[in-house]
Structure 1
Amino acid sequence: MDVDTSGLCDRIAGGGTMIAPSDHAQRERFCCDLETNFSVVAAAGSGKTRAITDRIVQIARSSGALEWLPKLVVVTFTHRAADEMQRRARQKILEARVSFDVVAAFNRAFFGTIHSFCVRLLSDYGHYLGLPPRLDLISDDDELWHDFVQSRTSIGHCLSEENRRILLRHVPVRQLMELGRRGNVSLPHATEFGPCPELDLDGIYRFSPSARSLEKIERGHAEVREWENAYRSGVDFLPLLECPSSAQGFVAVWDEAFGPFRKWLNCCALSVAAKIQSAYRDFRLDHGVLTYDDQIALADSLLQHPIAADRIRERNFRVILDEAQDTDPQQFSILLEVARPARARGHWLETRTDPPRAGHFCMVGDFQQSIFGDRADLKQYRRIHETLVEGDAGDALEFAVTFRLDQRQLDFVNSVFPLLLNEQENQVKFVELNPRPGLLPGQVVRLDIQAENERATRDKQTERQKADKEARQVAAWIKKNGLENLRAWCWSDVAILCPRKIWLRPLQEALRRVGLDVQTQSDNELNADNPAHAWLTALVTVLVKPQLSYEIVGVLREIFGLSDDDLARFSDGSGQRFQVQSITGEKGVVAETLNSLAALRDAIRSAPLYQAVCQAVADVRLRERLESLPSDEFDDLSTELDRLLVTAATAEADGKTLAEFARDLRANFDAPRESGPARRDAVQLITGQKAKGSEWDAVIVPFLSREVRTRSPDYARIVRIPPTGELVVALGRDDTSKEVKDALKLAERQEMERLLYVALTRARHTLVLAFDHALFHTAQGASPKNSQARWLRSAETEENSKVFGKLPKETQYCAATQERQREDTIQRELEQKLTLLPEVGAKTKSDGLKRAADYVRKLNPSRVAGGRILPITGSDTWKETDPELRPLAVESAATRYGLWWHEFAQRIPWTADANTCTRIFDEHQLRSPDTARSRREWQRLQEHLNDSTDFRQKFASDSVLLHSEMPFLWPGEASKCVEGIVDLAIFDRAKREWLILDWKTNRISRDQTALLRKQYLPQLAAYWRAITQMTGMPVEARIYSSATGQFIAYQPDELVAEWERLRTLPLNELTREIEAKPRVSNHARRG
């Protein structure tokens, strides 16, 4: 092909000629071959986001755009990445000048995380698993876990009585419960175990220790003998022993004696933990809540349900997965199963039959950037990649041209990393990077850190002191070189990367001392760490729960800054005195503050949610108090408070109360916090893990010789053995064999090597490596074993020594780089100007404020009620909402059925023969949430269709036009407009008259027909008035009751009278007649 669909061509420096990258053919194929599945390995900076965007644009240009785009599922690692992907794709689609229908179809595509996609599947099909209609996400489950534990009278009944007795004799129940609670993977259910192995401890007693370990091992012999006596005598509870010595040979003897016994206990514990995990999930669902892991596990179960899986697959989703290397096995399973054909059974990776349909599954990732081994599974990613390719279910592509790295960085990476990413011992293969057209020179610089009399003070220096010393030198060096020599356009384009967040603190302090602003970002920052979130949560909580004395004291102490002495004097030993339910008669600063909170609580008691929160923030002067905190410790607290106020406004729009908003804030207290945008004049401090997916003009990597420590694991825990992926329980440190420990250490080292690849491929123009061997070397003169320098093989005696030894020690200014940056900045600013709105003058703003309330109010007739007479289904509301914009949980079975009926009726070919109508029904019957009811009600409607004297005569003539789901928007009177969707509109061109019909699926009996008719009179009156005024023709209005099979007509005079009533209602009274969406209790039982 001669058209550059990738859009990734670069200009040759100094000219305007466009040259395609060397991997252009593979990019072209990924973009244009829409009927093939692909697994793309995209190296660092290779433009994978652009490639995905180009494929989406090609879909929009194709003949199948209207069908395929609404079925598109683009799954990314974060919501921010999804928003960016969607924004870029929309921009390119608009630039492609496709039709508005295609743009509308694109707007129905899914862009989001795997968890968001699972929520959609569960909301639409969760009833097949017996899930309650509404489920709330929970992140802090301490209270729920406590309730679950209290509800359990015993555990372990999945084992035989004897095996259960032995397990509970040696393993605390609490450990077993916590295993089931904390397991973030689905645990296998084992059902059969052999008898408990006999213990033979003679080998331990016979072991002859060396003189050096004699004392420890003799003490160990005594402990073992005492333990064995208790074991043989039948003591009720007998905790397991840990090996008392690491002496050579003794550990092997210990493992031989206790190993089989402990392994058997671990298998039993895993089985019990699996049952607890399952029971706790059921308990959460019974209480209307679920976790992120539940979303994944339940969606996976849904796709193994034969009926639900078929109905999901009938939607013909087309999946594009980004960051495939960060996807765990269950998440992979969901996306693969969604893309398989209907009627497929089992898991594809196990059955190898019915693979994902052609063009329905693409994944883009990079084995080299797999750095989240705690949640992702590199082995599974490899397996899927190979299975797709070897089974002819997809093709492999490789993007090796980097559009990020300049020449020096590219050469450096290609020289260093083949030795690290070498395909040995299950390590990944290095993909050699290729240059883009128009490459800039770039620079990789070596910064040697000086010890400064380190020999004399080495033994007295702590690691933190050494880190402070290096941080001061790095900060001074950055300040001295400046932006020009670093080849960075602004300070936010300079980043310092470390493998541990704690290492960033001395750098932050040192940079501020030399006058540079700093912004720290990390993956593990929680909402609770931010004072704006913490303080607003506490404030709102005490306003809705005025007698929570502990929280009230926290508010007084943290927000108002009252001293502990004042608080202690006021309490006088009684914590109950801290309340804001009523005014206290006490004197003093504490009493005055409590009284002000009590008055605030009383003032906002009947206020809407958003107004209440805003008033609380203003009265407490929360914004001013936040701004008084040290700016060097807390960034943009005012912006964070604004974000929370937007959240309050959204919660109000969702119909939530102040108490529910406070509950949501508390539930998300320990949730990870999204990082804000980079400040233009701040150097970025960030962990290597967080840096993935980002890039900067200049990147500095310090602390190369500092030991990277890993936190000791907690026991009991579940361990995934790296080579096999097998899950095992480790009740103590003795439960992991030397082989398993070595495998875990190897996997950890290899992941750190891949993390180094990520860190050293972030720099566009300048990469700086800080060599600090003089500070952090061991007593033997080498870098610590677990250090970045050792992993890079950079020492004089190691393989990469020549590469590092040749690195220049001075930065250099580059005019070509600065000119390219200037051109890029001008282009960005031009694009921003094109999207900016003109400034609003003072007079325009003043006029706008005066007329702020003078706007057209939209009236949705399907929400207008003439008094709640019969139970409503909710489908009247949600039928007028685009399926992709409906709430994530449609809240009742009645509503789901009503939606199904409306979607089915929309597709009835009214003028076709009976057999055609029956075939359409049979196809849609598969999706019905109540098949018996839908068949019964379809038979009733068929009776009307087959009767020429009844309903059928309305459209039997050739002069009749039928419109299913006809939308309208009519500008009414007194700043009101009427909007709605007529379920079925029939226009008789010969008679010049209309019939409008609305489907009603309320479950009523025939004697309730008059009540149904009265309930929907306001809605039909508004529909009738709108269509009458818009067409200027006579309009007949009816509703059809699917439950009774009756067409119910309205007389013109009653429609006129009802519209007059609605028209003359004041706006606030009319608003009160708009019914709220129905809610279903969170405690609804399943099944």
Structure 2
Amino acid sequence: MDQDIRERFQRELKRNFSVQAPAGTGKTTLLAGRVVELASRYPHELSSLVVVTYTDRAARQMRARILAGLHKQYAQHLPEPLRRGISRAFIGTIHSFCCSLIREHAPFLGYPGNFEVLDEVSPPPQPEPWELPPWPWVPKIHCLLPEREIRMAAQKLSRRLMDWEKVWRQFQNWLPGETWDAVALRQRIPVGYGNKGKSKAKQGPAWLHKLEQAFSRWDGQSYLRLALSDRDWEELRQNACEFVRSLEPVTRAGLMLTVWYAARLQEHRFRQGLLYYSDQILLAHRILSDPGERQKLLLRGYRVLLDEAQDTDPWQFAILTELARSPDTTPFEWLKEPEKGPGPGRFCMVGDSQQSIYRDRANLAVYLAYHQALCSQPHGEELHLRQGHRCPPALVRCLEGAFRAVLTGEKGQTSFHPVAPAPEKEEGTVLRWVVPPEEVPLGEEPKLLEEARWLARRLAQEGPQKLGASHWGQIAILAFRREELQVLAQALEEQRIPYQSHFEGSYRGTPELWWLASLATIQEEPWNEWEIAGILREVYGISDREIFEFRYPEGRLGAPRKLFLAPYPNARSRIEAALDTLYQLSVETRRYGLGKALAIWTERIGLTERLQSALGERSPAIHRRVARWILRAYREEEEGRGLASGSRLLDRVALKGTSSLLGPHESQAVQLLTTKKAKGLEWEVVILAFWGRPESFLRKDRRPHVFADCHPESLPAILWANGLWTPGGEEQPKIHRLQEEQERQRLAYVACTRARQTLIFVDDEALWKKEKERKGAKSNLDLLGPRDQWWDTLPGESRAVPLLSLEGKRLVQESVESFSPDPWPEKPGSTPSLTGWIRRLPSQEDRELEENASRGGAGSWIRWKASLGLRYGLWWHALLARWPWCATPSEREGFFREKLRTLSPALQERARKEIALFWRTDFYRRLQEAAGRDQLLVELPYVRVIQEGVVEEGKMDLLYKEKSNTWVLVDWKTDQPEEEDFRLFSQKLLGQYRSQLLSYVSSGRHYGLEIERVEIYSTPWGKVIPVPFSFP
């Protein structure tokens, strides 16, 4: 369908194209084809080729596609000019290209050329001491706008992509006079303000009293917020318009002071050679703003190919288009002079307005403005791709029904571009999983966590194969918010489903990270009383009164006693004992790296057990979460680095996300991403979760807001609070709210187009109906527009689908039966385990093996029996992991019959005999009694750090506590005996599994379980085999 368009884009090298390429139409292949054609015809121009991708990953893919195309065209070897030229071509992100420009022109800029790029975790460098502004009215400003808040706002502004020195020069005419009439301002105080409404009745008079004090003093020593929140400021503006107008010089001065601070901070950072990603773009823009430097660069004759153009911000567009223009044009004036744009064949871009999802820096209007300017040139043209290569027919119909009525091209929104389904693609599946409110228990746990647990149970019941994936790694769960993915990770761990998360910043608030970060901090600062007091209070459970009595042994009037790590050989109190333990640990771990040090601290002070006690949880997931952070600390630790910067390193670890320790490899784990992170990726199965929750489309936690026009030279509008703006920004709140909602609609489109085989909507609207009505907010499902026609037709049950291997080859299709609901749900608080075993029909290979076995084929008989033995062992462990220990005999038999249906018919008779033996033993009665006392643990996972960089991971079958408070470890063994003598068989098992069981004992003791006895239960014999151990 698109072959003619693709050939034109690749072969017409004297034209500038703007290609509209919806998701899955092959943008990377299109751009790589043009580069291959350019290399073949003009190899001498490759050194001036600039191919800009959105991510480093996309750049690697682009480079691989280009090299593959060149080797395909030149079968034997690449000519020398072509190899030399392609090695000099730039293929990467805009930030990488700007870095090369900055290093090349460092003498012109006057800044260090060997600069360091700061990541988002790195705090901004600050001048010490802070430079004071030269105006006498600054103390008066700080009476109403606190200095600390102004400087914090300035730090946020200084990291935004804006030349704040230039903004400051243009804002100087707003500066107030040197004196203000405080008496006149005080006279305009609205006496009646704050006395209306329940919440304002008490604080209104006090607020006015403080305001009068602030106006009367003007000493800069005290301050009063102009408004406690957006709602307070809006009420003040509505009830006292005259008073607010009289405050306009004060508010403007506060904003100007913030901009002045931002300009100073930005310049200080440049001179220190410390750059954020936004700084790289700004300095490259400064280079091209200079006539001499611009002329040198443009004489090189750059050819620019831009991928993901819809997510390119105004500054990046200005730089890239400027590189492709003639040297005799006016800098950065292309949008004002459309006829003086890039030369023929010098600039092409590929994008999709439906995937414009970074409104904060790259709004849709910017992309459309450059798109129209490029297409209006005599040698410019617009191309549209219509043939999809990813989405199956069912998903294409879903996109048509969901987004045609939403992406209408009105009020600044883009238009919907239909795509033809991928040729020779199977039908695909679009499902709707309805969350029944009655299946989500509402109690002490948050509703969000309970919904996540419902989704994890449903996912475990279905399994990857039933959804159309060959393993968990081909499944992705997308959500709009990071906190939703965080609770989902916890739910997946409880169901023993491996996962890998890619969301940032969501683990900073977890208790285990707080405690580990505090331990790392006191290792660096043993005198930090704040952190030490927190550890004593939270980790050791010492009350505030005990801490006070320790610090003030002579009473409140006496001199305070310092709280720091020190040896107390003869500790006389809990606090002294704790400080002595912490001191000894800090001395011992001082020579180790962060990972090993945290592992030692965690083990010695029993951190996981104390965390369980503090949270009231008994789940093994807590142990895994602590071990996860220790592993991440090992991975991120720099070579030879100790704990000198441990807490900051741990903070960086927290921002990088994590993965569970359940799977063999992260590539075979369920992927957890926010919808924005998913852009550019694709999976066999995509699940859209938590879309029924009510959303607020105006974020209020990212102040100050900065709104810039399409042109970098235009002045920004700055928002401090609702009603407090720089001039020209009065209408921005309404515009901002509309743009936020439109971006969410496009983000929903991006999420739906990530699936290759199966797309699943989790319909939880009924669960959040009350919250939605109370808040009057929309949910993300409302972004899909009218759903009366296509929504109700979506099926809720999975069907058997062909499986694809990782290489995309067809595997043997398996018939997957529907799994009946388990009549024995887990008891609340018990250890979760795998559920939803899938029964399949015997494959052709199984039938051939069985036939060969019956004919006496020895090798085939061994393979077939080994396969059956493995299946039986897995089934037995799953059976006992969910066993109803406290059920009646009839209930117990009903549970066994239900589970027996999931076992191969060839093994069912063996299972009946062995379970009957098990029921008749005294051992079974001991387990029943332990379960009745709630002293029985099954399928207990563990992760233990053995040495630096080495971690042991496993799972203990069963532990129970006897009446004598002795812990006993039990290991199930389904090995079929070859010997007729039970004694010989026992010795064989002991010799084979002794090291494994010894490892279990060590791990149990690591968790605080003092295991005194170990037993093997042999299912064929129905007997218990004691394991002799010499415990230290």
TM-score, L = length of structure 2: 0.62
In 1, Cα distance between equivalents of 2:269 and 2:805: 59
Residue 764 (1) aligns with residue 756 (2)? yes
Please say if 1:276 is aligned against 2:261: yes
CA distance in 2, matches of 1:123, 1:391: 34
**What is the CA–CA distance in structure 1 between the aligned matches of 2:286 and 2:452, rounded to whole Å?**
51
- Alpha-carbon contact 1:489-1:697 (below 8 Å) kept: no
* Counterpart-to-counterpart distance in 1, 2:773 and 2:540: 52
Q: CA–CA distance in 2 between the matches of 1:636 and 1:592?
A: 25
Q: Deviations over 1:924-943 (max 9, x none)?
A: xxxxxxxxxxxxxxxxxxxx
What amino acid is the match of 1:732?
A
How far has the Cα of 1:106 moved from its partner?
1.6
* Corresponding residue number in structure 2 for 1:185: 161
Indicate if the aligned counterparts of 1:442 and 1:765 stay in contact, CA closer than 8 A.
yes
* Residue equivalent to 1:60: 39
Instruction: Within 5 Å, give how 1:36-75 maps onto structure 2.
Output: 36-62=15-41, 64-65=42-43, 67-75=44-52
Superimposed CA distance per residue, residues 375-431 of structure 1 (whole angstroms, 9 cap, x where no aligned partner): 333222222222222344733222232211100100110121022212222122211
Q: Deviations over 1:554-597 (max 9, x none)?
A: 99x99xx99899xx99xx9574769xxxxxxxx99767756655
Deviation at 1:118, TM superposition (A): 1.4
Counterpart code for 2:387: V
- What amino acid is the match of 2:353? F
Q: 1:802 is paired with a residue of what secondary structure?
A: coil
**Equivalent residue number for residue 798 of structure 2:** 811
Say yes or no: does 1:791 pair with 2:783.
yes
Q: Which ranges of structure 2 fall in alignment gaps of 5 or more residues?
A: 551-560, 568-578, 609-619, 813-1032
- The code of the aligned residue for 1:407 comes to P
SS of the aligned residue for 1:431 comes to coil
Q: 1:444 and 1:139, CA in 2 relative to 1: closer, same or farther beyond 3 A? A: closer
CA contact (8 A) 1:527 1:670 kept: no
Unmatched runs of 5 consecutive residues or more in structure 1? 1-21, 579-586, 602-612, 649-656, 794-798, 827-1087
Identity of aligned residues (%): 24
Tell me, in whole angstroms, the C-alpha distance in 1 between the residues paired with 2:771 and 2:267.
56
CA drift at 1:89: 2.3
2:100 to 120, 128, 131: 120
2:61 equivalent to 1:87: no
Aligned residues of 2:432 and 2:794 also touching (Cα < 8 A): yes
**Equivalent position to 1:731, from 720, 732, 746:** 720
Quote how far apart the aligned CAs of 1:109 are.
2.2
Look up the match of 1:175: 149
Q: Secondary structure at the match of 1:40?
A: strand
Q: Structure 1 residue 222: deviation in Å?
A: 5.5
* Partners of 1:140 and 1:472 in 2: CA distance: 32
Matched residues in 2 for 1:101 and 1:410: separation? Answer: 45
**What residue number does 1:693 align with?**
680
Q: Indicate the SS of the match to 2:673.
A: strand
Partner Cα distance (1:777, 1:702) in 2: 16
1:710 deviates by: 6.7
Is contact 1:135–1:288 with CA below 8 Å preserved after alignment?
yes
Superposition map of 1:810-829 within 5 A: 810-815=797-802, 823=809
1:461-860 mapped onto 2 (5 Å cutoff): 465-524=446-505, 549=526, 575=564, 600=591, 632-633=624-625, 644=636, 648=639, 669=652, 673=656, 679-709=666-696, 713-714=700-701, 717-720=704-707, 727-735=716-724, 739-778=731-770, 785-793=777-785, 799-815=786-802, 823=809
The offset of 1:804, in angstroms, is 0.3
Counterpart Cα distance in 2 of 1:531 and 1:88: 44
Alignment partner, residue 32 of structure 1: 11
Would you say the 8 A contact 1:82–1:113 is kept in 2?
yes
Cα 1:669–1:681, aligned 2, differ >3 Å: closer, same or farther?
Answer: closer
Against the structure 1 CA distance between its residues 641 and 667, is the aligned structure 2 distance closer, same or farther, given a 3 Å change threshold? closer
Q: CA deviation at 1:469?
A: 3.8
1:360 aligns with 2:346: yes
Distance 2:585 2:391 in 1: 58
Give distance in 2, aligned partners of 1:296 and 1:704: 36
How many residue pairs are counted as aligned between the two chains? 748
For residue 449 of structure 1, what is the aligned residue in structure 2? 435
Q: Relative contact order (C-alpha < 8 Å, sep 6+): which is higher?
A: 1
- SS of 1:773's partner is coil
Matches within 5 A, 1:9-24: 22-24=1-3
**Do 2:18 and 2:371's aligned partners in 1 also have CA atoms closer than 8 Å?**
yes
Instruction: Please list the CA deviations of residues 290-333 of structure 1 after superposition, one character each: whole Å capped at 9, or x if unmatched.
Output: 32222221111111012222222233332222222222222222
In the alignment, the residues of structure 2 paired with residue 244 and residue 308 of structure 1 have an alpha-carbon distance, to the nearest angstrom, of: 47
Closer, same or farther in 2 for the Cα pair 1:25/1:784, shift >3 Å?
farther
- Asked if the contact 2:36/2:69 (under 8 Å) is kept, the reply is yes
**TM norm structure 1:** 0.59
**Distance in 2 separating the partners of 1:230 and 1:624:** 52
Q: Secondary structure at the match of 2:127?
A: helix
Contact 1:216 1:244 in 2 (8 A): no
Partner deviation per Cα, 1:763-796 (whole Å, 9 max, x = no partner): 1111111222321112797996331222223xxx
**Residues 531, 715 of structure 1: alpha-carbon distance in 2 compared, 3 angstrom cutoff:** closer
Q: Which moved more, 1:189-198 or 1:289-298?
A: 189-198
Superposition deviation, residue 121 in structure 1: 0.6
Q: Which residue of 1 aligns with 2:368?
A: 382
1:138 aligns with 2:118: yes
Residue type at the aligned position of 1:379: A
* Matching residue's letter, 2:301: N
For 1:309-388, what aligned pairs fall within 5 Å after superposition?
Answer: 309-349=294-334, 351-352=336-337, 354-388=340-374
Distance 1:771 1:427 in 2: 26
Q: Closer, same or farther in 2 for the Cα pair 1:201/1:429, shift >3 Å?
A: farther
* Residues 519, 678 of structure 1: 8 Å contact kept: no
* Corresponding residue number in structure 2 for 1:1085: none
Alignment counterpart, residue 404 of structure 1, candidates 376, 390, 395: 390
Q: Is the 8 A contact 1:451 1:775 kept in 2?
A: yes
Structure 2 CA distance for aligned equivalents of residues 292 and 757 of structure 1: 28
- Pick aligned residue for 2:290 from 305, 327, 330: 305
In the aligned structure 1, how far is the partner of 2:650 from the partner of 2:450? Answer: 41
Cα RMSD for the two superposed structures:
5.2
State the shift of 1:261 in Å. 4.8
* 1:475 to 1:140, Cα distance in 2 relative to 1, 3 A: closer
Task: Give the corresponding residue for 1:991.
Answer: none
Equivalent residues of 1:304, 1:346 under 8 A apart: yes
Contact 1:220 / 1:244 at 8 angstroms: preserved in 2? no
Which segment is superposed worse, 716-725 or 175-184?
A: 716-725
Deviation at 1:440, TM superposition (A): 1.7
Does the 8 Å contact 1:777/1:784 carry over to 2?
A: no
Q: Aligned residue for 1:895?
A: none
Residues 281 and 290 in structure 1, CA contact (< 8 A), matched pair in contact too: no
Deviation of 1:190 after TM superposition, in Å, equals 1.6
Q: Spell out, residue by residue over 1:691-735, the C-alpha distance to the aligned partner (whole angstroms, 9 max, x if none).
A: 111111111223232123578634861332799996333333442
* Structure 1 contact 368–754 (Cα < 8 Å) conserved: yes
Q: Is the 8 A contact 1:489 1:821 kept in 2?
A: no
For each residue in 1:157-188, what CA deviation from the matched residue of structure 2 results, as whole angstroms up to 9, or x when unmatched? 5xxx77x6875554333333333321113142
User: Cα deviations across residues 581-630 of structure 1 (Å, max 9, x unaligned)?
Assistant: xxxxxx997677566557x59xxxxxxxxxxx8xx989999999999997
The question of whether the paired residues in 1 share the 8 Å contact of 2:386 and 2:418 is answered with: yes
Mapped partners of 1:532, 1:259: distance in 2: 45
The 1:756–1:143 alpha-carbon spacing in structure 2 relative to 1, beyond 3 Å, is closer
Distance 1:629 1:662, change over 3 A: farther
- For 1:735, the aligned partner's letter is L
CA contact (8 A) 1:705 1:788 kept: yes
Corresponding residue of 1:1015: none
Amino acid at match of 1:55: R
**Aligned partners of 2:630, 2:67: CA distance in 1, in Å?**
31
Question: How far apart are residue 493 of structure 1 and its match?
Answer: 0.9
